[in-house]
């Protein structure tokens, strides 16, 4: 019997093993995902998930940090890790002939990391430098400020990196304790995409991951929209960076396809309304776009632009004008058709990457509980109508909840507050 391209096995302890076979490639991407992220931390724990991400590569009883790095280099592997609001993942990509070695290394660092106190003290200043790097990068920092302004003092308003105060206070023991707390089998996914056989992969994963046992249930996720605020962060730089946040949709909302197309029409590519109006017609910005941030229970939709400090109010007014226009008249059918082709093209191009396919496996499972074939997504995209996009805009583009952040050489919030009115 022919093996299906996408396969799933659930171990007795609840760990899910997912694979997507791509026999035409000569590489494999593997990831170990945990359904725990920055939003699962208390304010006092903020930054621990990100610390775990760093410490996973800092040594096990059988490998030092250098030996881990050298082992990946010796097989031409590319390894990394990341932390998001809802997930933590360590992953790697190698030639298919080196899959057993990659599996051994990734399994070792995930299951056996020492969280050594000396290694932690060496890594602490590295993470503090990462915090500083984000704060020195205004087009990135303004988004961090926007999440704080939009969500307020709740988990989704926290920085994934944590606060300096927490980072200076944490110990290696704190990191290890939190890792043991979040390392619950029913929240772990081991997945791989590429030239791979599901049964062989599962047989290798089962002996090491099958012995993990859960200890305590983690609290559920709840979020409410913050009051929303206008935040001015005065800084002596060349540009003023503008970020606007309004209500979005949860990850699994059935209207997510319409939201994606609305994002494309508004500011998702070079033919979008924001790009054409603000950059091409008026020459106000080099960088301008809209974006989406979706979570299991909620979401935020937003727009960003970086402009001359004297053009802040004009730019905000133009962004709001384009948002309002989506509420009033349905988008032209030809424009929606182009947005659909753009979405489907982006999807198909991404599908050729083993890393993207590996991530899709995990994200589909975490957010939807199943693998979603590409054809199903394209069919859903094709079903979206201009009226659905207008109805979404009517629902989402409202004064509350909403937030505005301006970062740059602007001294008075009153200079631009009047322009921010949905």
SS3 (DSSP) at 252:
coil
Alpha-helical (H) ranges within 213-275 are: 256-263, 273-274
For residue 332, give both structure tokens.
């032209």
Domains, the chain, with CATH or none: 6-209 (3.30.830.10), 230-417 (3.30.830.10)
| Percent share of the chain, pLDDT over 70 | 98
| Residue 1: pLDDT over 70 | no
* Dihedral sign (CA 389, 357, 355, 351): negative
Which residue among 41, 53, 119, 388 is the active-site one? 53
- Unique residue bearing structure tokens 């033919």: 271
Q: Which pTM value belongs to this model?
A: 0.93
Write the DSSP symbol of residue 186.
G
In the predicted model, what is the mean pLDDT of residues 195-204?
96
The answer to whether 386 touches 331, Cβ cutoff 8 Å, is yes
Among 148-152, 221-225, 322-326, which stretch is predicted with the lowest mean pLDDT? 221-225
Strands 88-95 and 78-83: antiparallel
SS3 (DSSP) at 288:
strand
| Residue 379: pLDDT over 70 | yes
Catalytic, 380? Answer no
Question: What are 386-398's pLDDT values in tens digits?
Answer: 999 999 999 999 8
Question: What are 208-259's pLDDT values in tens digits?
Answer: 999 888 776 777 788 777 767 889 999 999 999 999 999 999 999 999 999 9
Distance CA(44)–CA(335), nearest Å, equals 47
Residue 153's pLDDT band, with cuts at 50, 70 and 90, is confident
Contacts of 239 (CB under 8 A, 6+ apart): 138, 306, 307, 308, 309, 408
């Amino acid at each position: 019997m022919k093996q299906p391209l996408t396969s799933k096995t659930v171990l007795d302890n609840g760990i899910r093993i997912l694979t997507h076979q791509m026999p035409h490639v000569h590489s494999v991407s593997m990831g170990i995902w945990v359904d725990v992220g920055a939003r699962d931390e208390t304010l006092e724990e903020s930054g621990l998930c990100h610390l775990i991400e760093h410490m996973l590569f800092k040594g096990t009883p059988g490998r030092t940090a250098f030996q881990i790095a050298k082992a990946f280099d010796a097989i031409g592997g590319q390894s990394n890790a990341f932390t998001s609001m809802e997930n933590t993942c360590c992953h790697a990509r190698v030639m298919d002939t080196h899959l057993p070695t990659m599996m051994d290394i990734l399994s070792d660092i995930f299951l056996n990391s020492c969280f050594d106190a000396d290694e932690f003290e060496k890594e602490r200043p590295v993470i503090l430098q990462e915090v500083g790097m984000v704060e020195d990068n205004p087009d990135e920092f303004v988004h961090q400020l926007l999440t704080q302004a939009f969500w307020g003092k709740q988990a989704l308003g926290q920085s994934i990196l944590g606060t300096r105060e927490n980072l200076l206070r944490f110990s290696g023991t704190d990191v290890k304790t939190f890792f043991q707390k979040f390392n619950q089998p029913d929240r772990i996914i081991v997945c791989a995409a590429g030239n791979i056989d599901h049964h062989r992969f599962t047989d290798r994963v089962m002996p090491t991951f099958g012995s993990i046992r859960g200890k305590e249930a983690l609290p559920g996720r709840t979020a409410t929209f913050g009051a929303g605020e206008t935040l001015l962060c005065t800084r002596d730089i060349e540009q003023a960076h503008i970020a606007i946040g309004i209500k979005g949709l949860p990850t699994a909302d059935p209207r997510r396809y319409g939201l994606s197309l609305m994002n494309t029409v508004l500011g998702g590519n070079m033919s979008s309304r924001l790009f054409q109006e603000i950059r091409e017609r008026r020459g106000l910005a080099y960088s301008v776009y809209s974006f989406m941030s979706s979570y299991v229970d909620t979401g935020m939709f937003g727009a960003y632009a970086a402009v001359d400090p004297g053009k802040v109010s004009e730019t905000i007014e133009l962004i709001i004008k384009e948002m309002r226009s989506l509420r009033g008249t349905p988008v032209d059918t030809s424009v929606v058709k182009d947005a659909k082709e753009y979405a489907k093209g982006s999807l198909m191009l991404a599908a050729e990457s083993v890393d993207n396919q590996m991530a899709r496996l995990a994200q589909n499972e975490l957010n939807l509980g199943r693998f979603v074939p590409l054809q199903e997504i394209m069919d859903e995209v094709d079903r979206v109508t201009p009226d659905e996009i207008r109805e979404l805009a009517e629902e989402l583009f409202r004064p509350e909840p909403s937030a505005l952040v301006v970062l740059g050489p602007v001294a008075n919030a009153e200079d631009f507050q009047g322009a921010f009115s949905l």
